[in-house]
Amino acid sequence: MKITLRGEVREFEAPKTALEIAASLSQGLKKEAVAVKVDGVVSGLSTVIDKDCALEFLTFADEEGRRVYRHTASHVLAQAVKAVRPNVKLAIGPAIDNGFYYDFDSEETFSNEDFQRIEKEMERVIKANYPIERFELPREAAIALMQEKGEPYKVELINDLPEDAIISFYKQGDFTDLCAGPHLPSTGYVKAVKIMSVAGAYWRGSEKNKMLQRLYATAFPKKAELEAYVQQLEEAKKRDHRRLGRELDLFDVRDEGPGFPFFYPKGMVLRNILEDYWRKIHREHGYEEIKTPMMLNRGLWERSGHWDHYAENMYTTKIDETDFAIKPMNCPGGILVYERKAWSYRDLPCRSGELGLVHRHEKSGTLHGLMRVRCFTQDDAHIFMRPDQIRDEIKGVYQLIDEVYKVFGFKYTVELSTRPENSIGTDEMWELATDGLQGALDDLGVSYTVNEGDGAFYGPKIDFHLEDCLGRTWQCGTIQLDMNLPERFDLKYVGADGEKHRPVMIHRVVFGSIERFIGILTEQFGGAFPLWLSPVQARVLTITERADEAATQLKDKLEKAGIRTEIDLRNEKIGFKIREAQMQKIPYMFVLGDKEVEDGVIAVRSRKEGAIGTMTFEEIVRKMQEEVETKAL
């Protein structure tokens, strides 16, 4: 049989398992491989290959490989839990980002002590290196097997499968689970495992069903990788924006308004700095700022398609017997702004931006600090243009987004998503739009991946994935070409030929949402914001009461120089005052005692460097203003 590997055709005697083929290629590949793609379909290494096909071996470094690896680890977890608590009922156990989980119906709550017992049993299962064997059963026999094992949730899953579905199981030792697979060849392939936490989870995500216990866990091929991941999580806890928001008195989400953030005075300083920067850079790039209403009537949302496809996420009310909705998106309002007058081809492109507050009804279980909220400010901009302007406008948007992310020190990757199956519009328009996006990226020399078929139904898009200091990625910026809304709203401009033409529309955000971006920045800097972003840039500290007057005068002079300053005149030891300022992540501390007042100088401490010596007022202001102007990180 002929096997295609990385474009090269190799001949093998049939049949062979994928693992045997890997071993014949190299012992290194045999050791590293965790799964295989057979003609593009992810399969287990135990899969028998008996005909011509294309193979691609997957390792733990591949996302699909990690999911196979961790899905097998979830079966190891389930087997261990059944050994420790034989009466638990099994639900589901998929791989997820950074790990896996398994849902259990147990009368007793899992505790930290249980975690240790279960992990010990998992290690036993791994050491036993049970072969993982796949088998199939007819529907009745499958149900009978799960009934015999006392697994009602599995029986329900089987009953819900289509009549023609292949019902497969995986067996390891004396443990059998209903599963579509694929899996590793044996339990010994799993190396380092750890249970991370337990949480409640309704069966099948419905509040009408029983609450189960969900054990979250993770697995890695090497213990050192697991330890590094756990250490990263510990660092992430220290940087958790929810905790820092409260400790630094920036923002919080209260029980009285789940998903609706409060911004305190210091948080508003940070927010306003970001918004002022947004306005400045958009003016420089030729945008005009607009403001559209927060609430608009049902007719508009029907025209945009939101009323039919997004109603369950919208907050609605009646005014004068007419249905209204609080806007979940700014786009329809931006279109009405375009509609206000007739446009000529000479007027385009029309670029308008809005810091628009939107509301979306998110489920309570998905809410997370500022990262997932029910109201947020999108830094939307909409560009209306001629088709021949697509490439240049995309390049301009890309350069703006790149400029912003570099200011904050973010690395990022770019993804181009193309036409999905449920798309609207003509082949010609899709080709024009996709070529415009791809051509712009190619002109700029940008490295990007293509995500086939993952564009919006109304047009292709470019997504920007930020990488923070912990290696986590966040999808923030996006550029979307839209051929749907200009059609729905019958938008027009008069071309050079005197005829009416349809403009092309770009939707784009840079921050994504102000709230989420603040959450990301808080975690990126661990609350220790660079000077230009820091809500409080300096704190004046006194050693004795005799320095109080000079300290007050210094604070006033700093504020007049544009430096956000606090003062600490409390009758406390200077070491205590310094530690407290450090805990509040204040960039500079200016210490005044009798000697400093007498000499007309200021003892300067930096958050990062500690004591840096004495300076005059003029030297301090010059140093800080330069740091702010250059937006030093």
CB burial of 77-103 (b: ≥16 within 10 Å; e: otherwise) equals bbbbbbbebeebbbbbbebeeebbbbb
Query: For residue 196, what are the CA distances in angstroms to 107, 199, 344, 622?
Result: 20, 10, 60, 49
Residue with the two structure tokens 């001629």:
386
Distance of CA 154 to the CA centre of its chain: 32
From CA 99, how far away is CA 96, in angstroms rounded? 5
Supply 247's token pair.
């400790």
Q: In this structure, how many other beta carbons lie within 10 angstroms of the beta carbon of residue 475? A: 13
Judge whether 480 and 506 are in contact, CB under 8 Å. Answer: yes
**Cis omega before residue 94 (within 30°)?**
no
Query: Are 530 and 537 in contact, with CB atoms under 8 Å apart?
Result: no
- Whole-angstrom distance, CA of residue 381 vs CA of residue 455: 19
Q: Is residue 477 a contact partner of residue 405, using CB atoms and an 8 Å limit?
A: yes
Q: Give the whole-angstrom CA distance, residue 607 versus residue 620.
A: 15
> At CA 542, angle to CA 538 and CA 546, rounded to 5?
140
Could you list the active site residues?
331, 360, 378, 380, 382, 461, 507
CA distance 142 to 136: 8
Give the integer Cα–Cα distance in Å for 318 and 20.
68
Secondary structure of 88-103 as H, E, C letters: CEECCCCEECCEEEEE
Q: Which residue has the tokens 């912003």?
A: 404
Residue of 363, 390, 99, 62 whose CA lies nearest to 205: 363
Calpha distance 192→212 (Å, rounded): 26
Q: Residue by residue, what is the 3-state secondary structure of 347-359?
A: HCCEEEEEEEEEE
Rounded Cα distance between 515 and 412, Å, is 19
Residues 610 and 581: their CA atoms lie apart, in Å, by 12
d(CA 372, CA 520): 12
